[in-house]
Every structure is written in structure tokens, then in C-alpha cells.
Chain A
Amino acid sequence: MTKSNYDYMETLTKTKTELCIDVKGVSVRFKTPKGVYTAIQNIDLQIFKGEIISIIGHSGCGKSTLMSTISGMVKPTEGEVIVNNKKVTAPGPDRGIVFQNYSLLPWMTVYQNIYEAVDSVLSSLSREEKRAVVDKAIQMVNLTTHKDKHPQQLSGGMKQRVAIARAFAINPSVLLLDEPFGALDALTKGSMHVELLKLWNLDNRNKTIIMVTHDIEEAIFLSDRIVVMNDGPAATIREIVDVPLPRPRDKREIVNLPEYRITRDHLISLLMDKFSIMDHGVEYVEKQEAEEM
């Protein structure tokens, strides 16, 4: 590790000791027509101020449910979530949410979509101040020339930038992203990662970001720590993996670092049980054939 990187690692550990989110023994159960379904079971998780955390796992493992207990969209059946020393009971202005499918209101322009959120959360500001906030947010994601368009006229990447701008505009201390780039093509996704980190940097890395994803490379590039979930129902945390990569990260360079490969291989082995056609799946068939003969 070079000297400057070492310094940075030090500041990293120094600054990230202030507890921001405390998930304490959270279980979520849903009543369904077929009976009670336990989505997540007894989850404990501490997240510090300014951290970027990814929650990763297979589809339906309850990672979005865990996130929703932090955002306040879902109430835990057991346990509690503390954000900024306050118990979460409902969504609040200290947490900005970016939904999986953008969730823009199709009858409003880009500007209006952001304005209504700002108007609602920062209600004490004057009209002019709110407008300035909206303009700044739109400028931040480079959509000023598209601000009077409706969502239907925008590409997927642009829509997601509007959703991110909307979440940033209300200046929350916590940003919750639910599979934010899942619907984007690989190239757009790559540039969105950089844009997200840019926005985080512009804010002096003060915002705590929690992202749900099923993309290992995305999780490594963005996060400080990666929470790996077991498969549901009654999902639990399997392991929390540290990402020991220096910031600012460069997509081209980090893939060559040994830490990157170690982390990626570890995540792959946690999340997958088949790595190649030569793995035990094929061996098993061969063995069976041998036995039959």
C-alpha cells in the first residue's frame, strides 16, 4: 500500500465511528392468504455515518425488506431500527429513497417531480429557495436541458438520475437505493456508479448510502462494506464483507488490485455454488453414470 493510500485508510477509520443506523433484532413477517411469511429473521446491523453499504443476495432473500425497515416503509414485526438516534416509525426527511423502478410521477415534468418532493420535505423554505434547490439538484445530474420533459420522454438512465436528484435534493443524511441500477444497460450503469460517487464526494462523503443490489462488481466498486444475505424465507445476514479498496476508486485500476480479486472471489463463493461446468454439478452426473455402469 502506498503512503497516500495508507493515510486515507486512516482517515477512513477515524471518521467512520459515529453510529448512524442501528438495526436491532429486526424480524419482518407478512400475513398472506397462505399463512404467515417470515421475510427476514432477527437481523442486527450497525452502519456508520458516511459509509456506503451494499446489501447483496439472491432474488427474494428479503434484502429490499431489510432496506424498507430502515426507510420506514415497512414496520418490523420484532425489533427496531434507530436512525440518527431516533426510532424509525415512518419515512422521514432524513432518509432519501431511490426506488428500483424510478417511481417518477408520469404526469409531471422532471422539474415538477423534484419540486413536489422538495416542497413537501423542505416546507419551511420560501418558493424561491425551493426553486433554487430544485435547479441545483437538476444541474448536479446534468439534466438542466431536459427539466421540462415528462418521464416517458427520458431514457432509463435519465429517469434514474432524476430519481437520484430528487433524493439528493431534500439533502437527507441517509440515502437508500433499492436496486437503483438494475434496469439499466451495462454501459449506463457504469457511468451512473461514477456519478453517484461524485455526488457523495461533493457532499464531503457525509451521507450514509445503503444500496440493495445483486451485482457483485457494482457492490465492490461502490461500497465500504457488503452485507451478504442468506436465502429467504426467514433470511439472515450470512456475512459482512469489508472492501479494503482505497478511494477515490478507478474502475480500470481497482480490478487489477489483489484486494479486489480476493473480495470478489470471496463474494462469489458466498453467493454461488456452481462456478463452472466442470464443478460438482457435472462431476455428480459423471459419478452417477459410473455407478450405473
Chain B
Amino acid sequence: MSTSEMKAVLQYKTIELIKNIGYFVAGLVVLGLVWEFVSRRLAGELPGPLATWEVFKGLIEEPFYDYGPNDKGIGLQLLSSLSRVGMGFLLGSLVAIPAGILMGASKVGMKLLNPIVQILRPVSPLAWFPIGLVAFQSASSSTVFVIFITSLWPTLINTAFGVSSIPDDHKNVAKAFGFSKIKYIFKVILPYSLPHIITGLKLSVGVAWLVIVAAEMLSGGIGIGFFVWDSWNALSLERVLAAILIIGTVGLLLDKFFSLLQTKFSYDKK
């Protein structure tokens, strides 16, 4: 590519970026206007965007204050939620990936596990909360347990699908050159199914972030879900709305992070 061509491409990309930012801002403005309109119609029942913005600023100006168990900064609440999601997601993935490989690689494994997965997958993970309470005797651990259950299914199903779709060509290489089981898993199965596994992880973490809010409303104590519920009890809808914005942004960032992993680990783009 010549320098003039590169310049043209760069210019095109810059214009596209500016356009996209423009659309984003325009969307926000429309949302803000509708919000403001609804808020005025309800005569103060629902706080408007400006009032929410003021509260939002207040929240993120001092995110890490800690005035006792019932009054902590939004940053601490977020970190607590993130750490539970991280913990539950990690444990869930550690179970789901090997189980998915087993399901995808062996017909017996598929027949054994698939009916169980099909029954448990449609259940709201929150239904497991009481089981967690009995098992761990702690609301916080129980929340992690709920996230663990949440994280299992998308990863499990995507891993199994990835592993079972390995082309015969790749299997034949392993067969023809007598790859050991270990070599087959690490040099054929895992590299081939890694993009599928990451897709599963991305879906899992997305659902986990959805579920954590509800789970923490049940568990209480600390966390972004508790923060929402606590704000509602304190009749501060501004804080609820601000929290919704923050939850959405964090969810978006988590999703983008896994999308980045996806492009990094898809071998056909090399």
C-alpha cells in the first residue's frame, strides 16, 4: 500500500469514527429528551436526567468512602460485585470447560450429561440461592454459588459444540501420527475449540452480570444489587437510575473485553 492510499484509508476510518460518535451522542440526546419528557409528565415521581446526573457525579466523585456496613461508596459496591462475579465465573468455567470437552469429545459423555444440562439450563439461577444458603451458611458465598451455576451453561454448551465440531481432517492428523491423549487435547482440541470456548465465556459473564444484581438484592449486605435495593428503600430513585447507568457501562466493558480475547485467539485471523 502506498502512503497516499494509507492516508486515504486513515482518513476514511477517522470520518467513520466521528460519524459513529455523532450517532451515539444523538441517541443519548433523544433518550435524554424522552426521559425528561416522561419525568415532567409524572410531575417529579421520576427524577429527570439532570437531577440524576447531579447524583451520579456525587457518587463517582467519592467512590471508595466507607461509613460502616450500610453506607459505602459506589466503587466499593462495584468491586464487591465484580469480585463475586469473578469468583463464581472462574469456578464455573473451571467446571464447565472440562465438562464441555468431555461432552463434545465422547458420545457417552454427551449422553450422560446432556439430559441434565437440558433440565437445569432453563432454571433461573436465583432458584439455587436457598440451596447455597443451606450449603454455605452465608449469603455472600451463596451469591457466589448462584453466579457459579449461572456461568456453567453457556460455557459448557459452547465448549461441547466446539469440541464436537472438530473436522475429520484434524482428527486424522492426530490418528495418523499417533498423538497421545494429552497432545490431542492440548494441540488439537483446545486450539480448535478455543474461539468457541471464549464465545461461551463471553455469554456466561454477560448472564452472570445480569444475575448478580438480582442475587445481591436477595443477599443484601454489599454489592451493586444491594445498592440499588438500598437506594429504593431510601426513596432515592436518582441513585437507582445512576446505578443502572453504571451497571450498563460495566457490562459493556466486560463484553468488549471478551470480544477482544475472541479476536486475539481466533487462529484463522493470523
Contacts and interface: CB of A to CB of B under 8 A. Distances in A.
Interface residues of A, number: 23
Contact of B178 (A99, A121, A150, A152): A121
Main secondary structure of the interface of A (DSSP, over half): loop
A120 B187 CA distance: 11
B175 A105 contact: no
A106 B195 CA distance: 13
A165 to B, nearest CB: 13
Nearest to A123: B180
B268 A106 contact: yes
B172 A103 contact: yes
Contact of A116 (B187, B192, B267, B268): B187
B177 A117 contact: yes
Interface stretch (A77-85, A89-97, A272-280, A284-292): A89-97
Contact of B180 (A92, A117, A120, A150): A120
Nearest to B177: A117
A137 B180 CA distance: 22
B172 A107 contact: no
A120 B177 contact: yes
A92 B179 CA distance: 11
B170 interface: yes
Chain B contact-residue range equals 10 to 19
Interface string B27-67: 00000000000000000000000000000000000000000
Nearest to A96: B176
Contacts of A101: 169
A190 B256 CA distance: 50
A121 B177 contact: yes
B270 A150 contact: yes
B245 interface: no
A19 interface: no
B183 A120 contact: yes
A62 to B, nearest CB: 18
A170 interface: yes
Interface string B161-200: 0000000011011011111100100011001100000000
Contacts of A106: 267-268
Nearest to B176: A97
Contacts of B169: 99, 101, 103
A92 B172 CA distance: 13
Contacts of B188: 105
A107 B267 contact: yes
A105 B183 CA distance: 13
A125 interface: no
Given A92-B178, A103-B173, A105-B173, 19 more contacts: A71-B176, A91-B175, A91-B176, A91-B178, A97-B172, A97-B176, A99-B173, A99-B176, A103-B169, A103-B176, A105-B170, A105-B191, A107-B191, A108-B187, A117-B177, A120-B179, A121-B177, A150-B270, A166-B177
Q: Which 10 A-B pairs have the closest CB atoms?
A: A107-B267, A107-B191, A117-B177, A97-B176, A103-B169, A91-B176, A120-B177, A103-B173, A150-B270, A120-B179
